[in-house]
Amino acid sequence: MAETETKKKGYAFSEEGMRKLKGLMKDYPSTDALLLPALYIAQDEFGYLDDAALQYVADLLKAPRSKVYGVATYYTMYKTKPTGRHLIQVCTNLSCSLLGAEHILNYLENKLGIKVGETTPDNRFTLITVECLGSCGTAPMMQINDTYYENLAEEGIDRILEGLK
């Protein structure tokens, strides 16, 4: 995951990002379908999707800015605000709640000294809750950036967080 400190203007995909996007073009009969993948590339490269980033994607795909904005704000995995380097996503849906998701959440809030939705002052962690991630048989669970951490217990959480600088 890219750093969240991104420059406000002059957004442009790296060569690698552009190569990725061009590679996808042959996969679809319509360039409209590239919008979701393009937003992922933008998020990887720019850290999060502010208005300037959305404008860049809109220009690139020749799509209306309103549509790009609509899509980016519709899906939960697109971040329109900056987050810490490690985005901690705690599932609180039914199966995880039955097995102590609230306890996990309280533990994380106390340990990190932040509430849900907040970022630590050193920009290391952001804590949010998410809906079911398909890990109910190994509940409670959390996802940090793209990685799943399952069968959570307090001691394990300490170890996981220590490994994330």
Site residues for another protein per CB under 8 A: 27-30, 32-37, 39-40, 67, 70-71, 74-78, 92-95, 97-99, 101-102, 105, 116, 129, 131-139, 143, 146-148
Tokens coding 91: 């599932």
Measured CA to CA, the distance from residue 99 to residue 24 in angstroms comes to: 41
By beta-carbon proximity to another protein, the closer residue of 9 and 77 is: 77
Q: Return the closest-CA partner of residue 46 out of 13, 87, 95.
A: 13
Q: Work out whether strand 147-149 and strand 125-130 pair parallel, antiparallel, or are unpaired.
A: unpaired
Measured CA to CA, the distance from residue 132 to residue 59 in angstroms comes to: 34
In the bound complex, what is the minimum distance in angstroms from residue 22's beta carbon to another protein?
15
By beta-carbon proximity to another protein, the closer residue of 25 and 122 is: 25
By beta-carbon proximity to another protein, the closer residue of 91 and 161 is: 91
C-alpha angle 149-155-157 in degrees, rounded to nearest 5 = 35
In the bound complex, what is the minimum distance in angstroms from residue 26's beta carbon to another protein?
10
In the bound complex, what is the minimum distance in angstroms from residue 94's beta carbon to another protein?
5
